[in-house]
Amino acid sequence: MTEELHTRYTPSPDRYDSIPYRRCGNSGIRLPLLSLGLWQNFGGVDALENARAMLHRAFDLGITHFDLANNYGPPFGSAESTFGTVLRQGLGAYRDELIISSKAGYDMWPGPYGIGGSRKYLVASIDQSLKRTGLDYFDIFYSHCPDPETPMEETMAALDYIVRSGRALYVGISSYSPAQTQTALALLRELGTPCLIHQPRYNMFDRSIEEGLLAVLKRERVGAIVFSPLAQGLLTNKYLQGVPAGSRAARSEQIYLGADHVTPEKIERARELDVVASERGQTLAQMAVAWVLRDETVTSAIIGASRVEQIEDCVAGLENLNFSADELQRIEAILGE
- Average pLDDT over the chain, rounded to an integer: 94
Please report the pLDDT score of residue 337 as a whole number.
Answer: 66
Nearest to 80, CA basis, from 107, 96, 104: 104
Say yes or no to pLDDT of 112 above 90: yes
Could you give the CA distance from residue 292 to residue 272 in angstroms, rounded to a whole number? Answer: 18
Please report the pLDDT score of residue 254 as a whole number.
Answer: 43
State how far the alpha carbon of 167 is from the alpha carbons of 81, 102, 138, 159, 226, in Å: 17, 11, 6, 10, 24
Residue type for position 194: P
Q: Which of 19-23, 97-101, 234-238, 314-318 has the lowest mean pLDDT?
A: 234-238
Please report the pLDDT score of residue 238 as a whole number.
Answer: 87
Task: Give the confidence band of 173 by pLDDT, cuts at 50, 70, 90.
Answer: very high
Say yes or no to pLDDT of 253 above 70: no
Query: What letter does residue 227 receive in the DSSP assignment?
Result: B
Summarised one tens digit per residue, pLDDT across range 177-209 is 999 999 999 999 999 999 999 999 999 999 999
Q: How many CA atoms lie within 13 A of 233 on its CB side?
A: 22
Could you give the CA distance from residue 70 to residue 106 in angstroms, rounded to a whole number? Answer: 9
Q: What residue ranges define each of the domains in the chain, with the CATH number in brackets?
A: 3-8+20-232+297-321 (3.20.20.100)
Q: What DSSP line would sit under 97-152, residue for residue?
A: G-EEEEEE-S--SSSTTSSSS-HHHHHHHHHHHHHHHT-S-EEEEEE-S--TTS-H
Q: What is the pTM of this model?
A: 0.93
